Chain A
Amino acid sequence: MVDRIERLTNLLALLLETSEPLSLVQIASELDGQYPDDDKARRAAFERDKAALRDIGVPIDTEIVAGGPYAGQTRYRVDRRAYELDDLELAPDEMRALQVAVAAVRTDAGRDALWKLGGALGDEVPPVSAVLPQRPELPAIRRAVAVRAPIEFVYRGERRTLDPWGLLLRGGFWYVIGHDHGRGERRTFRVDRFEGGADGIEVGSPDSFERDPSFDPRTAFPADPKQIGDTADERVEALVRIDALRAAAVERELGADRVVERGDDGSVLVSVPAGNTTAFRSWVLGLLEHAVVESPPALRRQVIDWLAAVAASDGGTVRR
């Protein structure tokens, strides 16, 4: 028996070069001695090879013979035009730019793509780089966005149908934004929270919807990330005193227009949306003793009670 790579390479060469689609019997006879003689074992080995080739991206066409003595038989071939990468004629500076891009965002898939385009990663380390989260769901969602096909997936235990308008990477997470059929309005979903991974996504028929031409994922994204999948009352505003140590950082985070008052001690009083109490509390407590809620009184009281409960838990030995 030949090495598996040898058989796979021969199979691929045969399917690429054949003028007519070939049946498994014909393939096995051409690749004499490379497939098992036993029918069942041969079929199993061929199916494994076919899956391996498809897995690395080889488009294998199948056709079923319609009439004659071989009616019903399946035949295989690889369409050379579908197999081969188009010649892109990238200019040297364009290739260099792509190499720099892939070097700055190192992924195996990006490196493989570069190889196919005739480029390669150098040994040079770029001075600036980005780590992008890799999610197996992304290629399927991106394809659905491109061909305007709805997707179905499970999110927080619920089946959702979405016309995906765009993908957005922000704050270290991938989001898909689109029109939610069940809710009848625009919704944003975090891709890493899709249940069932890439296999859990069902892509519908292409050209099923029109994207609003003015749609821009950047502005469509909810201002408060905690709103994702929900809505919150945006009218509640809290006043928070930030001490001098963190004042500059918080001002940078929120924007100078959120500063209501500047203290002589370097502190600032900022106005912060607090419609989503959980999100607000988490944010303000993240600043520890550098932030104090001044109003509204009810919210201030809630934060104090929360802190008092933690303070009383001393040792945290109470198990639930």
Chain B
Amino acid sequence: MSGPRNAEDRLRRLLVMLPWLMETGEVPLAEVARRFDMTETQVQNDLELVAMCGLPPFIDEMIDVFVDDGVVFVGVPRLFTRPLRLTAPEAFSLLASARAAMQLPGADRDGALGRGLAKLAAVLADAGIATTNDSDDTAGVVVDLARPELTDVLAESAATGSELAITYFSPARAEMSSRAIVPRHVYTDGGNWYVVADDDRSQSRRTFRVDRIESAEATGRTVEVEATSPPERFFDDVDVPRVTIRFGPDARWVLDQYPIDEVAESGDGWVEARLPVASERWLARLLIRLGPDAVLVEPANENPAAAAARTVLARYGEA
């Protein structure tokens, strides 16, 4: 629970909280806090503050709200009875989320999302997001979350707690493995799909790339459904080793594609960056693809690329 920080954030939150309170009338403080992602103390302080606000001469035209014994009460609803219109970023975020949700496996089967979005058209127009005279006002934003075929099977398993027998290609070891997993959460990030699952082989919760799952079949075993959030990304882990690489102008795309700790421009078009490394093979693959456009600076004496390149050359009959 982070809660709002500065005066602007606090006011922003108050302007959505007040109309909701006025419509609801009487709510436990704890519920207000949970709903608006604040602590009870934060809610209480802010409400006590706005209770002193209103219109000059600040006698009777006041915001009629008070907290008593852990419950928020609203007297006569006046001032800020309606929420503030959506800002352009809010409207965009809502539109993009709805567009994305329509693309998720198993989503919006009954069309309620589409109907809700249609009703939102006027609001989106308010925020300059759509023009009301457009018949399909949201046509200009398309979210394409194309997914591997098996994604739907995995999502269904996560929703039902079904165990699956899968074959998985592990790029770090360049081998296939067979394992039994219970999917817990399926998500997409950066154009790839992942499944968080309880893995029998490692006896732990692991994240698998869906496009590396070659096959999946139900084992017939089901366990209790346990929803979980997407994991912290591997690169947030401080234990993951880091390397420093100098990237030439043609290799700059790497900076967009992969998580980077630090970047320093060197003025000649090259940049030096520190980045986490998923595995040695991953690093070798990256350096081979970049060739002369990248130089491993640190650790310079542990460059896996040359050996990996010789392995590939052997396939060409050249090593």
Contacts and interface: CB of A to CB of B under 8 A. Distances in A.
- The reply to whether chain A is a binding partner of chain B is yes
Contacts of B52: 6
A115 B16 contact: yes
A260 interface: no
Given A56-B12, A146-B137, A289-B315, A109 B54 contact: no
A128 B124 CA distance: 26
Contacts of B219: none
Given A109-B90, A130-B100, A145-B140, A9 B50 contact: yes
Contact of A17 (B36, B79, B281): B79
A316 B305 contact: yes
Interface string A153-191: 000000000001111111111000000000000000000
Which size class do B's interface residues fall under?
Answer: 35 or more
A56 B13 CA distance: 10
A58 interface: yes
A282 B228 CA distance: 35
A245 B84 contact: no
Interface string A125-165: 11111111100101110110111000000000000000011
Interface in A1-46: 3-6, 8-10, 13-14, 16-17, 30-32
Contacts of B148: 252
B89 to A, nearest CB: 5
A102 B146 CA distance: 19
Contacts of A120: 35-36
Give the residue among A127, A217, A282 with the most B Cβ atoms within 10 A: A127
Contacts of B93: 107, 109-110, 113
Given A5-B49, A58-B84, A85-B83, A288 B174 contact: yes
A110 B110 contact: no
B7 A13 contact: no
Contact of B140 (A59, A110, A146): A146
A102 B96 CA distance: 9
B301 A315 contact: yes
A90 B225 CA distance: 31
Given A57-B84, A91-B115, A146-B128, A52 B190 contact: no
22 contacts: A6-B49, A57-B85, A90-B119, A91-B112, A96-B112, A97-B113, A101-B102, A104-B107, A112-B16, A118-B23, A124-B227, A131-B189, A139-B129, A142-B140, A145-B141, A147-B131, A168-B142, A252-B148, A286-B289, A289-B311, A300-B316, A308-B309
Interface of B: 7-8, 10-12, 14-17, 20, 23, 34-37, 46, 49-50, 52-56, 58, 63, 79-80, 82-98, 100-108, 110, 112-113, 115-117, 119-120, 122-126, 128-131, 134, 137, 139-146, 148-149, 155, 158-159, 169, 174-176, 184-192, 211-212, 214, 225, 227-230, 246, 250, 256, 270, 281, 284-285, 287-289, 291-292, 295-297, 300-301, 303, 305-306, 308-316, 318-319
Closest 9 pairs between A and B when the two form their complex, measured CB to CB: A94-B116, A172-B191, A101-B101, A172-B190, A171-B191, A109-B93, A316-B303, A97-B113, A139-B88
Interface of A: 3-6, 8-10, 13-14, 16-17, 30-32, 52, 55-59, 82-86, 88-91, 93-98, 100-102, 104-105, 107, 109-118, 120, 123-133, 136, 138-140, 142-143, 145-147, 164-173, 192-193, 216-218, 245-246, 248-249, 252-253, 278, 281-282, 285-286, 288-290, 292, 300, 303-304, 306-320
